[in-house]
Structure 1
Amino acid sequence: MDKVLILLAGLPGTGKTYLSNIIKKELGTFYMLSQDELKEHYCEVYGYNNLEEKKEIEKITWQKYYEIMDQLMQIGSNVMSDYPFSQKQKPKIKQLVERYSYNVITIRLIADLDLLFKRQKKRDLDPERHLSHIVTSYKKGDYLADRSKADNLLTYEEFIKRCTTRGYNTFELGKLYELDVTDYSKVNYSKLLEDIMLWNENNSIKNSFLKARY
């Protein structure tokens, strides 16, 4: 694959990280650009005392995210990124894609919202998840033995509001594939990979034709 950006989009708790690992294994080298990992890093570096300060860290994170994407596209790296993308991110990503003539695939993951909330809650309570996601203040080294006592856990009402008002389930850029992951056992990941490889092959032929023509 040549100069491809894969965006793993869709609702929280749909298994975007799991899918990214499948793609990397089957489709070759991709630089994995994770907004979550960047945010966790800057929470470690700066810490925050309240949610307003946390928002400032998020601004720094997005600035760095686009900076890294720009650098990767300058050298022609294949890039994959997972996030519940919305219209907020679309203009900047589209600008970079057009500047560096990248081919884009959006894989949008959807599922039953009640089930997704249960997955999200389980994820937030997992000791492996970075604590900064569920507390209103954080500094490097903070630890909470009982995560159910975290003071910024997502409520059901807020989760549903985010999923239904932020456009997570409508985001798309470039070629769109949509997967229902309500039941993981029924997801045909092999078919998705075959479709992506076919799309890439056809796109490569088209690009070669255009180069030869002009």
Structure 2
Amino acid sequence: MRKYLILLAGCPCTGKTYLVNKLQQQFKDSFVITPDEAKVLYADSVGFNSKAEKQALEHKVWHFYYGVLQLYMDAGKRIIISEYPFSDKQKKRLSELAQKYHYQVITIRLIADFDVLWQRRYQRDRSPERHLSHIMQHYHYGDKLEDRSLADDLVTKSQFYQICQTRQYDEFALGQLIEVDVTHFNQVDYSGLLAKLKQIIKQ
């Protein structure tokens, strides 16, 4: 039985979470694991009191993420899906795990015009649906902030640009690469993408 690790890569706000849901509907036997889920888990269970503590917690997040991913692979799950703005920081470890457990890697890299991404990021960070820990330098379970524009860990447009460029989110690739332009969500051929994936995974 062939096994697959599908990585949804690209800058923040390219619609990776939306695509994960589409993939889960297509591949009923798939398992999903994302670093952001682990970030929220640790933020709610441990919390942090400063930017430095928040960054330190990320080390635990990645240890947890790779640990669960390895458990899924060791159990032989046929399709594992993960989404994140992956960069070269994660490439070596992901490649090692895929080789060790004989997984074929497929990277779906989502790209878009930067100004469009910034508008999406600006709105997302100020949405009440955004987990508060993502936009604060101090957070513990139960914290609330009605006016999200007052959050103390929001990024500026120039910071967002620098992050995307420095980490080269739009250049990440591991295994077979499929690139999709998501500048305009209503013009994305998600059905065609899913059909292409279905053909690859049938092989």
TM-score, normalization by structure 1: 0.92
Shift of 1:42: 0.2
Shift of 1:201: 2.4
The residue that corresponds to 1:15 in the other structure is 15
Deviations 1:44-68 (A, max 9, x none): 1111111110011110000000000
The residue that corresponds to 2:92 in the other structure is 91
Letter in 1 for 2:55: K
The residue that corresponds to 2:185 in the other structure is 184
Are positions 1:112 and 2:113 aligned together?
A: yes
- How far apart in 1 are the matches of 2:111 and 2:33? 21
Letter in 2 for 1:129: R
Deviations 1:60-100 (A, max 9, x none): 00000000000000011121001000000000010000000
Are positions 1:71 and 2:71 aligned together?
A: yes
SS in 1 for 2:198: helix
Aligned pairs for 1:18-37 (under 5 A) are 18-37=18-37
Deviations 1:157-213 (A, max 9, x none): 1000011110101111111000000011111111111111222223xxxxxxxxxxx
Letter in 2 for 1:66: Y
- How far apart in 2 are the matches of 1:45 and 1:138? 10
- How far apart in 1 are the matches of 2:168 and 2:47? 29
SS in 2 for 1:169: helix
Deviations 1:112-140 (A, max 9, x none): 11110110111111111110111111111
Letter in 2 for 1:7: L
Would you identify which runs of 4 or more consecutive aligned residues in structure 1 move more than 2 Å? none
- How far apart in 1 are the matches of 2:27 and 2:143? 38
The gaps in structure 1 that reach 5 residues or longer are 203-214
- How far apart in 2 are the matches of 1:108 and 1:151? 30
- How far apart in 2 are the matches of 1:134 and 1:32? 24
TM-score, normalization by structure 2: 0.97
The residue that corresponds to 1:131 in the other structure is 132
The residue that corresponds to 2:53 in the other structure is 53
- How far apart in 2 are the matches of 1:193 and 1:112? 23
- Residue identity over aligned pairs, in percent, reads 46
The residue that corresponds to 2:44 in the other structure is 44
Aligned length: 202
Q: Which range moves more in the overlay, 37-46 or 79-88?
A: 37-46
